[in-house]
Amino acid sequence: MANGQSGVFVGSAGLVWRRQRVLWWVFVVNLILASFAARTITSRVAPVLNHSLASIPLLVQGFHVSAMDELGGPPAEYLTVGPTHVYYSVIFFFFMLLATGGILEAYWRDSSPTTGEFFQSGGNYFWRFFRLVIFLLLVLIPVGIVAVAARGIGNVIDEKSISPFPWVWFELGSVLLVVFLLMSVRLWFDMAEIIAVAESETRSRKCLRRGAKVVWHNFGSLFWLYFRISFVGWLVFASGMHFWVHHIGHASITKSLLVSQLIVLFWLGARFWQRASETLWYKNYLSRPESESVAPAPSPYEPSLVASAR
Amino acid sequence: MRVAPIRVAWLLLVLVASGNIAFAQAPNATATRSEKQPLSVRVVGYQIDAKYDAVKHTINASEVLTYKNLTGQPQQTFPFHLYLNAFQPQSTFMTEVRLQGTRGTGADSSWDPKHFGSITVSKFAVDGAGDLTNKMEFIHPDDQNTNDKTVFQVTLPKPVPPGASVTFHLDFQDQMPEVLERTGYAHDFVMVGQWFPKVGVWWKNAWNCHQFHANTEFFADFGTFDVKITLPQNEVVGAGGDLVSTVSNGDGTKTVTFHSEDVHDFSWSASPTFTDVEDSWTGSAGEVKIHILMSPGHLGTAKRYLQALKGTLHLFDEWYGPYPYDRITVIDPPHGGLDAGGMEYPTLVTAGTSWFVPKGLLLPEGVLEHEFGHQYWYGMVATNEFEDAWLDEGINSYTEVKIMNELYGFNTSVVKTHWGTMGEPEEQRMTYMTRPDADPIARFAWQYMGSSSYGGVTYGKTATMLLTLEKIIGEDTLRRAIHTYFMRYRFTHPTGEDFLKTIEEVSGQNLRWYFDQSVYGTQILDYEVLGVNADPLNWWEKRQSRSGPPPGGMYRNTVLIHRNGDFIFPEDIQVKFENGETVIEHWDGRDRWIRYTYDKGSKVISAEIDPDHKVWLDRSFFNNSMTVKQDTHATRKLSDLWVFGTECLGQLLAWLT
C-alpha cells in the first residue's frame, strides 16, 4: 500500500508535468483577469505617482507604510477602488467551474485535449459540478458552525484566564480542527467529481454517496496523500513569500513580479497535483479487486471511461 | 537585568525579611529624601490608609489631606475630584463616550454593568470645623449634567487665610470597574488610578476642577503622599512611591506603606501573577531603580521594555534635563487588561504588549517610551491636561519621535520589517491626517469635535508642528528651547503661551505667524507643483530635427507652484535641469501661486518643494514634486501587488469548485 501511495504521490506529479498545458491555461486566465482587476487602481495611482519624486523613495526604494496610508487615506483615497478585484475573482471561480471537467478528463485519460475537447468536457460537467458546489456550501455550514462555536469557546477561555496561552493553544487547536474538516470535505467532493468524470455519473447525489464511501473506507491513505501535497504547497508558498520579502529588493519590480507569479503558479500547481493524485489513486483503486464492494460496476447504459480505462 | 520569578522572590524575602513577603519594590534604604530640599512647592499632603478587597474589587479608605493655602487670598470653598464616578452610564464621561468614543471604546458602545465604577465619600470633616459631610454638593463646572458626580465642593464655615493650612478628613469607598480607561481590574490584576478624592488646583486666580470627560486627563498640585495599602498577602504590588515598609498582618493580609514627594498623584497596581524584573540606571541625578512588573505570558517582552526604558532615560537626561526621582515602575497589564495600558502616573507607567509581538513592530517600545516621557511632560512639567492637552501629549509625542528615531532609526522606529518600514515622524503625521482641520491644537480637550480629532490634533499635529518648526529654527535650537522650558517650568503648571514664548526666546525669532496658524488655527498646509515645462525659446522657428536642439539652442523653462491650503509657509523649491544644474528658489508662500521662468540652454527635468523633506505638516508629499519624464516603477509595483492579491483571492474562491 505504501509503495502504491508513493507511486501515486510521485506519479501524479509526473501527470501534472505531462499535462502542464491545462495548468498554464488556468494560470494565464487568472493572470489576465487579475491584470484587468488591477487596471482600475493603476489608472487611479498613475497620475499621482508617475511624475512624483516622492514615489520612488517611498514606494520603490523602501516600502513605507505611511506612504500607502497617504495614498489610501482621505481626502483622495486613491486605493479605494471598489470591489473590482472581487468581481474578477468571481469570474475566475466560474471559469474554474467550467475548466474542472476538462482538467479531470485530461488527468483521467492522461492525454492532452485540444482546446475544443477541453471546453467540451468542461461544458459537459459544468452543471453537475455547479450542483456539487451548492452541496459543498451546504456541507460547509456545519463546518462554519464548528468554527463559530470554537471561537465562542475560545472567547470564554480568553476571558477566564489571565495568561494568554490557554486561548492561544485552544485557537491553534480549533484552527487545525477546522482546517482538517475543510480538507476532509474537499477530499470528499474531489472524489465525487472524479467519480462523475470516471464513471460519467450524471447524478450528483450518487457521486457524493460513492465519493463518501470511497473516502470513508480509505480515509487514511487518501487524506495522507491530500495532506502531503497540501503541505508541499504551503511550504512552497511560505518559502516563496519568504524569498520575495527577504531576497528581492524593493526596487526590483520585474523580479518581484516574477517571484509573485511563480508563487501563484506553484500554488495552482499544488492544487492540480491534488486533483491528479486523486484521479490516479482512483484508477489504482478501481483496479484493486476489493474495490468492487464499494464501486459499482459501470452501468451498461452509460458509456464509461472506466471501461475504456480498464 | 535580573528576572526574579515570584516563587524565588517569595522564598528569599521570607528568609531575609522574616515576615515581610512579596513586594515589588524593596524598601528604600535612603529614607532621608524628605530631608532634602523640596523640588516642588508642596501644596498638598495626602495620607491615605486603604484596604483592598481583591474579591469584590473594592477599596475602603480614610484620607487625611493637608492643604496649604498658597493662593494669596482667603479660601473658603474647596472643590474635589471624584474621578471613579465617571464610570456610570449617565456621567458626562460616558455620555461623551457614547457620542464620540474614546480610547479603546467606540461610539454607540453598549453599557456593560461590569464597567460600573464609583467613589463614595461617607465622611467629610475639617479640623476646626467638624463634620461637614452634609455640606458636600456635586457641581458641574463644564456642563449642565446634574447626573455627573465627578466633582463636588464644600464651603467651610470660615475661610482659610493665605499661607495657612487646612486639614480635611475623608472616608471613602471605591468600587473598581472591570478595567477600562486606564483603571480597574482584570482577573486578579488591578490597576488603581484616580482612586481617591483629590482637591482641585487654584490656577489663573480661580479653582480649576473640571469634570471627568471622555478625552480629558488630569490636573493636580504637587505635594507628598503617604499611602498604606492593606491587601492579600500574595499580591505583588507596584506603586508610584518608595516602599517604606511591608508588614504581615497575620490574617492573610499585609500592609504596604509607600511614600512619595514632589508628585501630584499616586497610583498603584497589584496582581499575584506579576513577575518583577528589576534593574537600575544611573543618570545625572543619581541612581534610578527600575521595576517592571510583567504579566503572565509577556515575559519575553521584558528585555525590550528594559532596553527602551534605559535608552529613553538616557536621552531625556542628556537632552531635556535630569530625572530626579529614585525609581520608575512599569506595570505590564495582563492579557485582557490592556485598557489599563499606555498610561502615566508620577513614577509609575503602564505599558502594553501581547504574548507575541514581532521584533519588527516596535509597539511595546513606543508605548513605554511615550509613557515614560510623561514623567517630564505631565509629571514634572505639570500642565493642565484638561485645558492644554497638547502640552503633555503633544510635546511628549514630539520627544517620542526624537527618542525613538535615535534609538531605532529614522525610518524604522515604528515598523522595521523586510516588507516595509515606518518611522515615528510618519506615524505622527498619519495620526494628524486622520482629521487635520477640525480643531486647533489649543483647545480644551473635551471641546474637540470627537476622539479622532482630539487624538489626531493633540498628539499627531503637535508633534508634526514641532517637527516642521525644526525647519524654521533648527533641530538643535528646538531641543535647547525644550530643555529650557523643562528646567524653567518643572514642578509648576505652565501654560501654552509659556511654552511658545520659551521657543521664541531661545530661538530669538518672532514665530507668531507660525503659531497663529499651526497652534491656534486649523489651516491646512499643502503646496503642490502644478506644472513643469520646457518650451523652445524661439518656438515659432522650425527645428532641424525632432530630437535635436531647438533653434537658438535655448529653452523657456517654467515651473508653476500652487498653494492648495490656507496655511502660509515659506517654501524652498529645487529645480533641476538636464545638464545637472540645480537652482534653489525661496518663496514666501503667500500668494496662491508663483511661476518661475528660466531661459536656458538646458531643459528642466524636475521641480520639488521642500527638497530636504522637513515640512512634515504638508498634507500631501506626492504632489510636492513633478518630473518631466515619467517613472512608472511605483505604479507598476502597486499594480503587481494588486494582481497578486486578486490572483490569490481568485484561487481561494476556486477551491470551492
Q: Which amino acid is at A278?
A: E
Tens of pLDDT, residues B373-405 = 999 999 999 999 999 999 999 999 999 999 999
Does residue B342 contact residue B370 with C-beta atoms inside 8 Å?
yes
Mutation target vs A (from B363, B619, B651, B652; most A CBs, 10 A cutoff)? B651
Query: pLDDT tier at B514 (50, 70, 90 boundaries)?
Result: very high
**Would you call B633 and A96 a contact, using CB atoms and an 8 Å cutoff?**
no
CA-wise closest residue to B608 among B636, B638, B587, B632: B587
Return contacts of B393-397, CB within 8 angstroms, 24+ apart: B393/B458, B393/B459, B393/B462, B394/B441, B394/B458, B394/B459, B394/B461, B394/B462, B394/B463, B394/B465, B394/B466, B395/B462, B395/B466, B395/B482, B395/B499, B396/B370, B397/B370, B397/B428, B397/B459, B397/B460, B397/B462, B397/B463
Q: Which of A34, A63, A70 sits opposite B647 (nearest CB)?
A: A34
Q: State the cell numbers at B558.
A: 517654467
- Contact list in A for residue B334 (CB cut-off 8 A) is 162-163
Q: State the cell numbers at B25.
A: 519594590
ipTM comes to: 0.92
Number of Cβ within 10 Å of residue A77's Cβ equals 11
Place of cell 469570474: A91
What is the sign, positive or negative, of the torsion defined by CA atoms of B427, B429, B431, B433? Answer: negative
Query: pLDDT tier at B25 (50, 70, 90 boundaries)?
Result: low
**Would you call B638 and A59 a contact, using CB atoms and an 8 Å cutoff?**
yes
Does residue B410 carry a pLDDT above 60?
yes
- Contact list in A for residue B654 (CB cut-off 8 A) is 92-93, 96, 271
Query: For chains A and B, what is the number of CB pairs under 8 angstroms?
Result: 213
Q: Which amino acid is at B347?
A: T
CA separation for the pair B141, B139 (Å, rounded): 6
Q: Which of A52, A59, A93 sits opposite B637 (nearest CB)?
A: A59
More confident residue, B34 or B94: B94
Does residue A297 carry a pLDDT above 60?
no
- Contact list in A for residue B653 (CB cut-off 8 A) is 89-90, 92-93
Which of A16-25, B104-113, B496-505, B639-648 shows the lowest per-residue confidence on average (mean pLDDT)?
Answer: B104-113
Which of A90-104, B95-109, B595-609 shows the lowest per-residue confidence on average (mean pLDDT)?
Answer: B95-109
**Would you call B633 and A63 a contact, using CB atoms and an 8 Å cutoff?**
no
Q: What is the DSSP letter of B127?
A: T
Q: What is the mean pLDDT of residues A188-213?
A: 93
Q: Rounded to the nearest 5°, which phi and psi values hold at B99?
A: -80, -45
DSSP assignment of B185-208 equals EETTEEEE-S-S-EE-EEETTEEE
Q: What is the pLDDT of residue A81?
A: 79
CA separation for the pair B608, B216 (Å, rounded): 41
Tens of pLDDT, residues B433-486 = 988 999 999 999 999 999 999 999 999 999 999 999 999 999 999 999 999 999
Which of A119-123, B54-58, B303-307, B560-564 shows the lowest per-residue confidence on average (mean pLDDT)?
Answer: A119-123
The total number of residues written for chain B in this structure: 657
Query: pLDDT tier at B587 (50, 70, 90 boundaries)?
Result: very high
Global pTM value: 0.90
Q: Which of B433, B624, B632 sits opposite A50 (nearest CB)?
A: B632
Q: What is the pLDDT of residue B16?
A: 32
Query: Helical H runs in B374-461?
Result: 389, 395-408, 424-433, 451-454
B640 to chain A, minimum CA–CA distance in Å?
A: 6
Max mean pLDDT among A57-66, A102-111, B251-260 falls in B251-260
- Contact list in B for residue A100 (CB cut-off 8 A) is 657
Mean of all residue pLDDT scores within chain B: 93
Q: What is the pLDDT of residue A5?
A: 60
Does residue B435 contact residue B452 with C-beta atoms inside 8 Å?
yes
Given phi > 0 = left and psi -120 to 50 = alpha, else beta, which region is B286? left
Mutation target vs A (from B179, B189, B639; most A CBs, 10 A cutoff)? B639
Q: Which of B186, B645, B657 sits opposite A85 (nearest CB)?
A: B645
Mutation target vs A (from B635, B649, B652; most A CBs, 10 A cutoff)? B635
Does residue A178 carry a pLDDT above 70?
yes
**Would you call A162 and B334 a contact, using CB atoms and an 8 Å cutoff?**
yes
Tens of pLDDT, residues B46-98 = 999 999 999 999 999 999 999 999 999 999 999 999 999 999 999 999 999 99
CA separation for the pair B587, B563 (Å, rounded): 11
- Contact list in B for residue A70 (CB cut-off 8 A) is 430, 433, 620-622
Q: What is the mean pLDDT of residues B497-501?
A: 98
CA separation for the pair A125, A203 (Å, rounded): 11
Q: What is the mean pLDDT of residues A100-114?
A: 92
- Contact list in B for residue A52 (CB cut-off 8 A) is 622-627, 634
Q: Which residue of B has its CA nearest to A251?
A: B633
Q: Which amino acid is at A280?
A: L
- Contact list in A for residue B652 (CB cut-off 8 A) is 89
Q: Which of B608, B652, B656 sits opposite A133 (nearest CB)?
A: B656
Place of cell 504632489: B623
Does residue A3 carry a pLDDT above 70?
no
Q: State the cell numbers at B597.
A: 521662468
Q: What is the mean pLDDT of residues A133-140?
A: 96
